[in-house]
Amino acid sequence: MNISIPKERRDSEYRVGLTPAGVQLLTQAGHTVFVEHKAGLGSGFSDHHYQKCGGQIVYSGEEVYGRADLLIKVVRPTEEEFDWLREGQTVLGFLHLASGRANKVEKLLQKNVTAIGFGIIQEDNGHLPVLAPLSQVAGRMVPQVAATLSQNNHGGNGFALGGIPGIPPADVVILGGGTVGCMAARTFLGMGATVHVLDSDLETLQKIDREFKGQISTMVAYDFNIKKVCSFADVVIGAIHQPGSRTPIIVTREMLKNLHSGSIVIDLSIDQGGCFETSRPTSHSNPTFIEENVIHYCVPNMTGVLGRTATHAMNNASWPFIKQIAQNGVEKAIAENSALKRGVYTHQGKIAHKALHNILTGRK
């Protein structure tokens, strides 16, 4: 199979679809791997690293797309990249088609592209094997972002998350007790913050209470409780996730008005539309805006600036699925692997994902 690794073209995206180690495994199995010039630099991999592992370097995006049966990406293609896609290709990546434009899905359908989302590959028990490690990276990163934004020189109120003797720590509210929420809670707790986690599932809250031995305050995510925590929170993290669907808005503008001036909102759900009514996508080059006197950080590719760590995490988790597609072809791989099948957005000119179909139908 001809497999291509394009260079990511979105703002401050330093990750790459596959490491040289992954390329070596593919070439040793008899596949041909094309790597776009400088695709791996942001993750610490030179063209020479890929060449040593059997990869062939190509010098334009159009060429790397044109040579591929299988494209391994990180994030959704740009408008230009959608035009480079050709008939019958397969593309893998965190595509987030539910929050994108309908015309992009139409291009996939017109070209009979099989689009598989890393974020919606889902095992029978509900586990998201490729998304989970990237969520852990995001959970580790979000306290760093919050600590920076709390500084006066970044527009914050000048508070330390952990406080010091005689001065109480910051109150951090995390909406969502999944993988990213739990990792963020663990890291904030380690920094000395007072942490509150809200989730709609009582079993999730019970698990968090056991795991953290009662050190974290837990609440059911009713509107009443969300409004209550907004009255005292210094930092609010949106960590809601619904695989393949747009994230519901659970924090309204009116709720947000309860936050004191200079508070921080970090919407980790923004790549699926966001869970705050006031959220809108930002970028690493211009990451924040002020709405209702609250600092908003809404960068969709948040972990894109941790290129090395995030790329290795993604490669480790996605490799079994890449291997199966390369060995067996996409048709057989989808038929034999139920987790991979759940990750299919489009296939043979049709929308294969129910949530995406419902969203696009609702827009018409």
Longest dimension (CA), the chain: 65
* Tens-binned pLDDT, residue by residue, of the chain (364 aa): 999 999 999 989 999 999 999 999 999 999 999 999 999 999 999 999 999 999 999 999 999 999 999 999 999 999 999 999 999 999 999 998 877 778 889 999 999 999 999 999 999 999 999 999 999 999 999 999 999 999 999 999 999 999 899 999 999 999 999 999 999 999 999 999 999 999 999 999 999 999 999 999 999 999 999 999 999 999 999 999 888 788 999 999 999 999 999 999 999 999 989 999 999 999 999 999 999 999 999 999 999 999 999 999 999 999 999 999 999 999 999 999 999 999 999 999 999 988 888 777 765 4
Residue 126 lies in a domain: no
CA nearest 75: which of 341, 257, 303, 259? 303
Q: Whole-structure pTM over 0.85, yes or no?
A: yes
**Total domain count, the chain:** 2
Annotated catalytic residue within 271, 296, 312, 347: 271
Q: Residue written as tokens 């993290």?
A: 237
DSSP-derived letter for residue 58 is: E
CATH of the domain at 135: 3.40.50.720
Q: Which domain holds residue 337?
A: 2-121+307-363
Dihedral angle of Cα 143, 145, 151, 153, to the nearest 10 degrees: 170
The sheet with strand 344-347 has its strands ordered as 56-58, 32-36, 2-5, 70-75, 90-94, 114-117, 344-347, 350-351
Bridge partners, residue 289, by sequence: 296
Within this chain, do residues 164 and 277 fall inside the same structural domain, yes or no? yes
Pairing of strands 56-58, 70-75: unpaired
Query: Which of 256, 283, 305 is the last residue before a domain boundary?
Result: 305
Annotated catalytic residue within 96, 196, 241, 353: 96
- In sign, the C-alpha dihedral spanning 128, 129, 131, 134 is positive
Q: How many CB atoms lie within 10 A of CB 209?
A: 15
Residue 315 lies in a domain: yes
Annotated active-site residue 201? The verdict is no
Annotated active-site residue 312? The verdict is no
Residues 272, 257: Cα–Cα separation, whole Å = 23
